[in-house]
Amino acid sequence: MTTPASASRWRDLCHNALWKQNPGLVQLLGLCPVLAISNTAVNALALGLATTLVTTLSGSAVAAARQWIPNDIRNPVFIIIIATLVTCVDLAMNAWLHGLYLVLGIFIPLITTNCIVLARAEAFASRNSVRAAALDGLMMGLGLTLVLLLLGALREILGKGTLFDGAHLLLGDAGHALVLHLVPAGANYQFLLAMLPPGGFIGLALLIAAKNWLDERARRRAAQRASQSASPISSVASTE
Amino acid sequence: MRRPWQQAQRSALILAGFAATATLLLGSTWLATHRTVADNEIAAQSALLAQTLPADSFDNVLPASRQPLPTVIQQAFGSREALTFYTARHQGRVSGLIFENVAPDGYSGRIRLLIGLLPDGSVHAVRVVKHQETPGLGDYIDIARSDWAHQFGGKGAANLPSWRVRKDGGEFDYVSGATVSARAVTAAVGRTVAAFHRYHATLLPRDTP
Amino acid sequence: MTAIHSTHIAKPATVSTVMLKVLAALLPGIALSVYCHGVGVLLQLLLASLTALAAEAAMLRLRGVAVLPALKDLSAIVTAWLLALSLPPLGGWWMIVVATLFAIIVAKQLYGGLGNNPFNPAMAGFALMVVSFPAQMAQWGSPQLPLDAAAQWQWIFLHTLPAGSVPDAISSATPLDVLKTGLRQGQALAGLLPQSSAQGLIALGWLAGGLWLWRQKLIPWQTPLAMLAGLLALALPLWLWQPAQYASPLLHLLQGGTLLAAAFIVTDPVSGASTPRGRLIFGFGVGLLTYVIRVFGNFPDGIAFAVLLMNMTVPLLDQYTRPAVFGHRKGRS
């Protein structure tokens, strides 16, 4: 059903959202929740998934309604759509995931102000098909979730010596079995810096540095491959 | 080409349309969730209150038993702000009281407490509900951080003469380097016990045998 | 393969001579510190130095920079010593190791090594510890109850004490801490003043070292004096206004790490301001912030946070205090 051209477009879209234009590591959008809620992997994952839900739904809704939205009032309309969706998610979590809701607190309603949601509505969903916008929203959300989860896991392991602590808030009682104690629970291990806000900043900086390093390495290898096949002289010059 | 006035009218109508749809959606979501949300809130509050009294020692809904503390007595609790308390009952008989109290002299501001007392005036358990003590230093008063608060269990009016931290000659432990937090909580719990001891006739409902 | 550096970068030999003199200037203070707190201080210095050298070497290797020349500049040792002298002399071995690793790896090498670090590495390491382990960082040995050498080593490495030792010997708070806690509890200032002159004695050691460095033209006079002025600018009026509530300026000068910071930390040429006027502002800011954090903040001493905060302003200070370009000033100085 999909032509090769559109298949590669979907791939580009995913690659763009998950890596090249990752909201958390490259666009640096919506840092407030990223830094505030990434103190444990479960909190981070939950907020990431809630954001993904909102970006996907708002992307689809904006794309579906785009022909009725006059250009000069598009921003108020986008905000109405986003705020409505966030409030629905907020109420739903309050009703059916109450424990998690108490932990995430103000950061669920604050998804409304997460720039990534409005940015994708404005830059992508308002000029693409519903399917493309939904995929873009989903992938952008997942890109953010991935960063949140990594950062959350990093901070939780360093800060408390556990992983997936509080999983029961997300999964019910079965979640208790998921908690990994990397340091024996009795040892009272605590490394506060990682759990406090500075740990969020330092952790995010380390993740960004790691991504830049990986990109740089890939670029160097590509350049090396290209120069090896092109001219032997330039490869000699580049070894030093 | 439409004139600006018509265009503005059209925009306003569209905006109103979106707003109406949003309202509809929000309204229906609220209708679908508000009962569960209210139940959750009561359940969460009950769970917190229940931690301060023996399990299965009461059968009433604790948040519903909330009452303001009479202003005359409030001073004995050492608080300048209005306080409330909850009455736990088992088959109609009072099986415990839960007092809110505030320790005004924490290291960084007030420490809000829930203190569960048995009818004989002894403490069953103390929970710190809200505090801003230094993370990793003064926050050991919080049950999520350490067992420190457990030591109040079973202590009552008989212990009042030595109701201080060990550093001040009392019988309660503290963490060195963060005495202030322990001192504040210990004093607030002590005031609550003393005040109950003095006013228990007023505070305990008449139906107690 | 000899590396040809650009000419404006100081030759490694010069850096190491400077660093050697800085280390030498620390010696009087260290000697007094050992006299007051015991040989534990030396153990902390040793642990810090070894950790710093190992971390620096590992990071230089990872970065693909020649290891030996950079190690020989001794800057890692200076950072290590400053940290060891700021942490509690009887802290567990892991504390100084963690602090030094963070200082060298994160605060120094990740930013590009000596000359590129925007934050003072020693203060970054100290801030890490005081935020992460406030309880352990608040426990200073009491100068009145010194443990013997063997007991100190046992405590630092094994966290146990020989039978019969007084716990206060290892867990008493610093004078500044006692003061702040007591004042918040409404106790009278007079009863809270430090009983021993140990801290003051050690402070004089730092002062001597600092004066010598200044005579050697290795540190400018602006930063240390401005820092002390900043501290006094708040300490003096508040003390005159309510002597029962606010400790005397002298206490603020001699207690905590004030003089150590004035002589050795705010004068760091890399993370501090580099123009004369910039140095004055930088130092004054550190002094003001130190007082504010010390007296009104939640942490026992404010120097580390004050230095880190002012480090952030350095690029701005350097830009706006550069010597005037011809005819571009409007009579402000």
| Sequence-separated (6 or more) residues with CB below 8 Å from residue A10 | A2, A135
What's the rounded Cα separation, in Å, for the pair C158 and C156?
A: 6
Count of beta carbons in the 10 Å neighbourhood of residue B45:
16
pLDDT of amino acid C292: 92
pLDDT band for position C2 (cuts 50, 70, 90): very low
Nearest CB among B15, B32, B136 relative to A192 is that of B136
128-167 in C: which are within 8 Å (CB) of B?
Answer: 132-135, 138-139, 167
Euclidean distance between CA atoms C73 and C18, whole angstroms: 9
Closest CA to C89 of C167, C37, C166, C145: C37
The string of pLDDT tens digits covering residues C54-108 is 999 999 998 888 888 888 888 999 999 999 999 988 888 999 999 999 999 999 9
Q: Write down which chains contact chain A via at least 3 CB pairs under 8 A.
A: B, C
Q: What value does the mean pLDDT take over residues C19-42?
A: 89
The answer to whether the Cβ–Cβ distance between C133 and A198 falls below 8 Å is no
**From C106, C110, C132, residue closest to A191, measured CB to CB:** C132
* CB C82 within 8 Å of CB C264: yes
Domain borders along chain B are 62-203
- Comparison of pLDDT for C301 and C320, the residue scoring more: C320
Best probe of the A interface among B5, B24, B33, B134, by most A CBs < 10 A, is: B33
Helix (H) or strand (E) run with residue B104 in it:
strand B93-106
CB-closest option in C135, C173, C177 to B136:
C135
Count the helices and strands in chain B (H runs, E runs): 3, 5
| Cβ-defined contact of A202 to C106 (cutoff 8 Å) | yes
- Per the CB < 8 Å rule, is C134 touching B176? no
* CA A164 to chain CA mean position, Å: 18
Q: Which residue bears the tokens 């004369």?
A: C276
Phi-psi region of B177 (alpha: psi -120 to 50; beta: other; left: phi over 0): left
Q: Is the pLDDT of residue A201 over 50?
A: yes
What the block records as the tokens of B139 is 């926050």
Contact A198 C131 (CB under 8 A): yes
- Nearest Cα to C300, choosing from C190, C199, C158? C199
Q: End-to-end CA distance of chain A, in Å?
A: 51
Q: Which residue of C has its CA nearest to A213?
A: C63
> What are the structure tokens assigned to C273, written together?
């301001």
Reading the block at residue A141, the tokens are: 């959300």
Structure tokens at C251: 């206490």
Model confidence pLDDT, tens digit, residues A106-134: 788 888 888 888 888 888 888 889 999 99
Please state whether C217 falls in left (phi above 0), alpha (psi between -120 and 50) or beta.
Answer: left
Q: Give the torsion through C-alpha atoms of B45, B49, B55, B60, to 10 deg.
A: -70
Helix/strand/coil for B127 = strand
Kindly identify which residue of chain C lies nearest to residue A193, measuring between CA atoms: C132
Chain C residues with beta carbon closer than 8 angstroms to that of A194: 132
Smallest CA-to-CA distance from B167 within B175, B159, B155 is with B175
The beta-carbon neighbor of B137 closest among C134, C171, C185 is C134
Minimum Cα–Cα distance from C131: chain A residue? A193
What whole-number distance in Å separates Cα of residue C11 and Cα of residue B93? 86
Nearest to B108 by CA among C50, C39, C296, C229: C296
Tokens of A217: 């390495």
Q: Is B68 helix (H, G, I), strand (E, B) or coil?
A: strand
CB contact under 8 A, C110 and A191: no
Nearest by Cα to A146 from A210, A96, A86, A190: A210
Task: Locate C237 and state its tokens.
Answer: 């009026």
Cβ–Cβ < 8 Å for B36, A95: yes
Structure tokens at C99: 């602090």
Averaged pLDDT for residues A17-41: 83
- Label residue C236 by pLDDT band (50, 70, 90): very high
C167 contact residues in B (CB cutoff 8 A): 176
Average pLDDT, chain C: 83
Give, in order, the Cα–Cα distances in Å from A139 to each of A9, A88, C257, C258: 13, 21, 52, 53
Note the pLDDT of residue A231: 58
Name every residue whose Cβ is closer than 8 Å to that of residue C241 and which is 6 or more positions away in sequence. none
pLDDT in tens, A87-110: 999 999 889 888 888 878 778 888
Per CB-CB distance under 8 Å, the chain A contacts of C124 are none
In angstroms, the separation between the Cα of residue C37 and the nearest Cα of chain B is 19
CA distance A208 to A28: 10
Residues of chain B contacting residue A155, judged by C-beta atoms under 8 Å apart: none
Q: What mean pLDDT comes out for the span A150-178?
A: 83
Question: What is the interface pTM, i.e. ipTM, of the complex?
Answer: 0.73
- Distance (Å, whole) CA B173 – CA C69: 54
Question: Could you tell me which residues come within 8 angstroms of residue A207 by beta carbon, excluding any fewer than 6 positions away?
Answer: A24, A25, A147, A150, A151, A154
Where chain B has pLDDT below 70, the residues are 1-2, 206-209
**Dihedrals phi, psi of C328, to nearest 5 degrees:** -100, 10
Contact state of C131 with A191 under an 8 Å Cβ cutoff = no
The span from the CA of C71 to the CA of A135, in Å, is: 52
Q: At what angle do helices C75-86 and C93-101 cross, to 10 degrees?
A: 140
Pairing of strands A180-181, B67-68: unpaired
Taking Cα atoms as reference points, which of B99, B134, B135 lies closest to residue B117? B99
Q: Where are the domains of chain A?
A: 4-226
B98 backbone dihedrals φ, ψ, rounded to 5°: -120, 120
Contact B185, B146 (CB under 8 A): no
Q: Which helix (H) or strand (E) holds B84?
A: strand B84-90
> Taking a C-beta distance cutoff of 8 angstroms, is the pair A49, A33 a contact?
no
- CA dist., res. B49 & res. B70, Å (int): 20
Name the C residues in 183-222 with CB < 8 Å from any B CB. Answer: 184-185
C94 touches chain B (CB under 8 A): no
The predicted model gives A184-196 an average pLDDT of 79
* C105 token code pair: 């790896």
Number of A:B CB contacts under 8 A? 57
pLDDT reading at A1 higher than 80 = no
- Select from C174, C192, C181 the least CA-distant residue to B178: C181
Distances (CA, A) of B165 to C138, C184, C185: 19, 17, 14
Of B107, B178, B180, the CB nearest to C135: B178
Give the integer Cα–Cα distance in Å for B115 and B97: 8
CA distance C47 to C157: 11
Q: How many CB pairs under 8 A join A and C?
A: 13
pLDDT, residue C146, reads 62
**Is the CB of B179 inside 8 Å of chain C's CB atoms?**
yes
Chain C positions in Cβ-Cβ contact with residue B107 (cut-off 8 Å): 181, 184, 298
For residue B184, the number of C-alpha atoms closer than 13 Å in the C-beta half-sphere is 31
Give pLDDT, residue C165: 62
Residue A106: count of CB within 10 angstroms of its CB:
8
**Mean pLDDT, range C24-44, rounded to an integer:** 89
Residue type, B94: V
Beta bridge partners of B90: B93
Chain C residues with beta carbon closer than 8 angstroms to that of B187: none
Burial of C329 from C-beta contacts in 10 A (0-12 / 13-18 / 19+) = exposed
For range C159-183, the mean pLDDT: 67
In chain B, residues with a C-beta closer than 8 Å to the C-beta of C184 are 105, 107, 180
Interface contact flag, B134 C184, Cβ < 8 Å: no
Of B108, B134, B183, the CB nearest to C134: B134
Query: Which has the closest alpha carbon to C139: C168, C102, C179?
Result: C168
pLDDT at B207: 56
Contacts 24+ apart (CB under 8 A), B24-29: B25/A84, B25/A88, B26/A84, B26/A87, B26/A88, B29/A87, B29/A88, B29/A91, B29/A92
- DSSP letter at A77? H
Q: Are strands B93-106 and B84-90 parallel, antiparallel or unpaired?
A: antiparallel
| B171 φ/ψ angles, rounded to the nearest 5 degrees | -115, 10
Q: Out of C27-31, C166-170, C275-279, pick the least confident.
A: C166-170
Distance CA B189, CA B121 (A): 12
DSSP letters for C259-291: HHIIIIITT-TTTS--SHHHHHHHHHHHHHHHH
Taking each helix axis from N to C terminus, what angle separates C276-296 and C175-184, rounded to the nearest 10 degrees?
50
Q: Tens of pLDDT along C210-233?
A: 999 999 888 999 999 999 999 999
Question: Which of B137, B139, B140, B185 to mutate to test binding with chain C, by most C CBs within 10 Å of its CB?
Answer: B137
Distance of alpha carbon A62 from alpha carbon C143, whole angstroms: 70
What is residue A28's three-state secondary structure?
Answer: coil
Question: How, if at all, do strands B123-130 and B109-117 pair?
Answer: antiparallel
CA distance C322 to A125: 49
Distance between CA atoms of B17 and B14, rounded to whole angstroms?
5
Predicted confidence band of residue A42 (pLDDT cuts 50, 70, 90) = confident
Unique residue bearing structure tokens 């029961």: A168
Cβ of residue B107 closer than 8 Å to a chain C Cβ: yes
For residue A197 the two structure tokens come to 């806000």
